[in-house]
Amino acid sequence: MHNPTDNQPANPGVLQAARAVQVLRQRLNQVLIGQRRVVDEVLTVFLAGGHVLLEGVPGVGKTLLVRALAQTFGGEFNRIQFTPDLMPSDVTGHYRFDAANNQFVLRQGPVFTHLLLADEINRAPAKTQAALLEVMQERAVTLDGTTHALQRPFMVLATQNPIEQEGTYPLPEAQLDRFMFKVLIDYPNMADEVALVQAVINSEGNDVLHGNAPGHVFQAAQIEQLQKWAAKVRVDSQLIDYAVRLVGTTRTWPALSVGAGPRAGIALIGCARAHALIQQRDFVTPDDIKAVWLPALRHRVRLSTQMEMEGVSVETVLSELLASVPAPRI
């Protein structure tokens, strides 16, 4: 394995991919002012081929993020506003009878896109949530026995309301597990917020993407290629063991009542590879796993009643757990 201090990837393909990722990252940061961590976390999941659960107050740029990401590769973008009366067919589409041609034709639902923003997913009933989560898993829609493959790349970015709000249907742990990351979006700091306000008021129609669009710099096929390169980033067997030990520890940690399943370990390694690519390396280090630990695990575990009563955050508990498991020296 390479010396982790060597930041130059030996694999020329990975080096080229890493440069392309920097362009993508830079374009998104130009639009999403003051949200560098969010951009990096969403980009990590995008490169790892997963889906993201976004949580944050209204008006911090969730829709802008998805629109900007779609624009970078000329991709399609759809948004679904989840409501209590939303039906599964409103998500996936359905067949309707075309009298003129005397046949049934598919009316595609909003999931037939590259990037899908599923707004307030926990306001829809379980059956509709399940329809979306099945599409996320299969990357295809099956209607009346016929399977329709979705476009590639395909990524769902779902937002949810705080669970305490009235009229919400909490996502079960098994379904939350389908999201690779849970990304927390907070308000930008004062200087960034000033820059954001100036960007909006100086833009056409108060749309920051007008005149400041990230630009169509990739094709969809090139994004797929970047995802393939991310999957080729090398991982030492000791690091796989480290990731599995970390996830296993969540199942016996006293401050947690529910630990993470095996999908968490797979997400850790996949996202650590993508994180290494963003850092312009062709190998994973323990620091890559540590960097993706919180967003990859915060939605897969549940605090014990004692911790909840004391007001301890899941991030505090997971950080303590991470510090207690020794990382391999490689």
Q: What is the pLDDT of residue 14?
A: 78
Per the domain annotation, does 219 fall within a domain? yes
Q: Who's near 139: CB < 8 A, 6+ residues apart?
A: 149, 150, 152, 154
Considering the domain boundaries, does residue 195 fall inside one? Answer: yes
What does the block give as tokens for 11? 């694999």
The reported pLDDT for the residue numbered 26 is 86
Q: How many domains is the chain partitioned into structurally?
A: 1
Where in 176-294 does DSSP place strands (E)? 181-185, 256-258
Query: 210 is written with which tokens?
Result: 């007008």
Q: Is residue 31 part of a domain?
A: yes
Residue 254 included in any domain = no
Q: What is the pTM of this model?
A: 0.87
Domain that holds residue 185: 12-233
**CA 320 remoteness from chain centre:** 24
Please report whether residue 253 resides in a domain: no
Q: Give pLDDT, residue 277.
A: 94
pLDDT score of 31 = 79
Contact 104, 96 (CB under 8 A): yes
pLDDT one digit per residue (tens) for the chain, 330 residues: 445 445 544 677 777 888 888 888 888 888 777 788 999 999 999 999 999 999 876 666 788 888 888 888 888 999 999 999 999 999 998 877 777 777 777 788 899 999 999 998 888 888 998 899 889 999 999 887 888 899 999 999 998 866 555 566 777 777 788 999 999 887 766 776 677 666 666 665 555 554 455 556 678 888 899 999 999 999 999 999 999 999 999 999 999 999 999 999 999 999 999 999 999 999 999 999 999 999 999 999 999 999 999 999 999 999 999 999 999 987
Tell me, yes or no, whether 266 lies in a domain.
no
Residue 55 bridge partners (DSSP): 184
Instruction: Report pLDDT digits (tens) over 226-285.
Output: 999 999 999 999 999 999 999 999 999 999 999 999 999 999 999 999 999 999 999 999
Task: Give the Cα separation of 252 and 249 in Å (integer).
Answer: 5
Residue 182's nearest CA partner among 292, 87, 259 is 292
Confirm whether 310 is domain-assigned.
no
Structure tokens at 207: 């749309």
pLDDT confidence of residue 316: 96
User: What pLDDT score was predicted for residue 2?
Assistant: 46
Q: Residue 123 belongs to a domain with what CATH number?
A: 3.40.50.300
- 142 CB contacts (<8 Å, ≥6 apart)? 148
Residue 239 placed within a domain? no
3-state SS string over 3-58?
CCCCCCCCCHHHHHHHHHHHHHHHHHHHHCCCCHHHHHHHHHHHHHCCCEEEEECC
